[in-house]
Amino acid sequence: MNGSRTDGNEQAALWNGSSGQSWVEAQELLDQMYMPFEELLVEVAAAKPRKRVLDVGCGTGSTTLALARRLGPECECQGVDISEPMLELARSRATRAGARVDFTCADAQEHAFELASFDVIVSRFGVMFFTDSVRAFANLRGAARKNAELCVIAWRNVSENPFMTAAERAVASILPGLAARDLDGPGQFHFADSNRVRHILEASGWYEIDIRPIDVECSFPEGELARYVERLGPIGRALREADEETKARVLAAVRPAFAPYVHGDTVRFNAACWKIGASA
């Protein structure tokens, strides 16, 4: 899900370790949950004829493969991510699908892409993890052809996305050592401020910047709620080292917190995001 690293290679360690493995294990759940965003990006890419498409922070490859299916064999689709475990699954999925897709394990902030080679660059929640966002988007700008389009999805702020932090609030007393989210550093809500995002894109050489709020209903089966809590986010990372008693206490505590989002056999929540567009 990410395309960068922090000082000390922290992001690389995270996404090649516990977080990357968690996303591999929860691949089907996450693909279903974020399907509306995948469809949005595919529609943007398919609006014009394309020769080469880049998916930044492609993770396990769902969006990249969807692009390949829609755009056909005449279009070359490339995904880049820093997580080798996630890309291993992505390559396996591409082989099974017989898709013309290339997956590259690299830091999109620094990778030497072929200059002026892509006519559309997309990302589903993959651009909020850069340590130097201006440098990263300047690097992507260099890989874009003249008049190429950029379309990325990023989260708005924490207060507009209560589902995303419901578990953390519920277990604060059970896991007192749980690290607080760093909203200023690389992470899920790093692009919450649209003015900050606009400055990043302007400083990195992009034009015709369009940042608009979108509210999208996401859903997944209620039976997957426990796996969602156990595998993903700060709670998932903490529970990897926890004993069974602690896991049971955590799951018991978070269940009431998610009650507003459970509708029969389905979990539904609003994802408050930015749709960020620009032109090269």
Residue 245 falls inside a structural domain: no
Please check whether residue 119 is in contact with residue 98, taking contact to mean a CB–CB distance below 8 angstroms: no
Dist CA 247 CA 240 (whole Å): 9
Residue 173 falls inside a structural domain: no
Helices (H), 113-224: 133-143, 162-170, 194-203
Residue 261 falls inside a structural domain: no
Residue 192 falls inside a structural domain: yes
Residues in the chain: 280
Domain count, the chain: 1
- Looking at residue 139, its pLDDT comes to 98
Residue 145 falls inside a structural domain: yes
Which of helix, strand or coil describes residue 171?
A: coil
Which of helix, strand or coil describes residue 195?
A: helix
pTM: 0.93
The CATH number of whichever domain residue 134 belongs to comes to 3.40.50.150
- Chain segment 102-139, per-residue pLDDT in tens: 999 999 999 999 999 999 999 999 999 999 999 999 99
Residue 138 falls inside a structural domain: yes
Please check whether residue 45 is in contact with residue 69, taking contact to mean a CB–CB distance below 8 angstroms: no
> Among 7-21, 103-117, 206-220, 265-279, where is mean pLDDT lowest?
7-21
**Residue 71 domain boundaries:** 7-158+182-220+270-279
Residue 37 falls inside a structural domain: yes
